[in-house]
Amino acid sequence: MSVSRVPPMKCWICGGEGKTGEHLVKASDLRSHFGRVSQKEPVYFHTEERRNIPVGSCNSPRFKSKALICNNCNSSLTQPYDKAWEKLSEYLRSNWPVLKKNRKLNLSKVFPGTTRQSILDVHLFFVKLFGCKIVNDGVPIDISQFAVSLQKRVAHGNIYIAIGNSLGTVKHKYAAVSPITAVNEGNSSLFATWLYIVDVIAVNVVYSVVPGNEKALQGTWHPNRCTKFLKLRSIKT
């Protein structure tokens, strides 16, 4: 007989005791897109290994990262980032026919009076999700700067984002995050990208430390160089 204790997983942001997994598709996006979810009215979860797994709650662990964060980092520290994306996501879905036609987004209409701070917070929302996915999937990217950006509320210098319409065709209501696709050199990733999708709206999140990589970053934005207008892309999913 042997007895052992598995040490608790630490919060990857602050090093405290990890308590909870982050929703990889935000719970508010799931609720607003799918409506009521229950055991009688489930949604269906798909992985590369299995499909059509019924899930009866938007708070199911199936929707969460296995990389844990502490209660403080999950609530008071990163709540402004969550709220900023929640507001932008709602605006995008509510105004999508007009936005898709015009191919641009006026951020001052989404965040009147707080545009610069709010678009930074949207950036940091995806920095948090990216960090969770890096830890969860074991991608060889140093997450220390991800943690610093979240703790100090400053932009990550190597994270770029594009927002636009999904070019994929789906017959049913749909939300997803893609795996991270990375280009590695030695034991580290130089470039990595993944998608966050809710219905017809897609967000492409890119990490790049490759100098002169403007072609791969075309159509993306960074909060340090962002104006109040964002061009909307067509994103292959």
- Decide if 188 is inside a domain: yes
Helices and strands (DSSP H and E) totals, the chain: 7, 12
- Decide if 90 is inside a domain: yes
Residue range of the domain that includes 124: 80-235
- Write down the pTM of the prediction: 0.90
Across all residues in the chain, what is the average pLDDT? Answer: 87
How far is Cα 5 from Cα 77, in angstroms, rounded to an integer?
Answer: 30
- Decide if 53 is inside a domain: no
- Decide if 225 is inside a domain: yes
Q: How does pLDDT run across 161-204, given as a tens digit for each residue? A: 999 998 776 677 778 889 999 999 999 999 999 999 998 899 99
- Decide if 63 is inside a domain: no
| Count of structural domains within the chain | 1
pLDDT at 216: 85
Question: Which amino acid belongs to residue 234?
Answer: S
Please list, in sequence order, all residues whose beta carbon lies within 8 angstroms of the beta carbon of residue 2, skipping any fewer than 6 positions away. Answer: none
- Decide if 206 is inside a domain: yes
- Decide if 3 is inside a domain: no
pLDDT at 5: 41
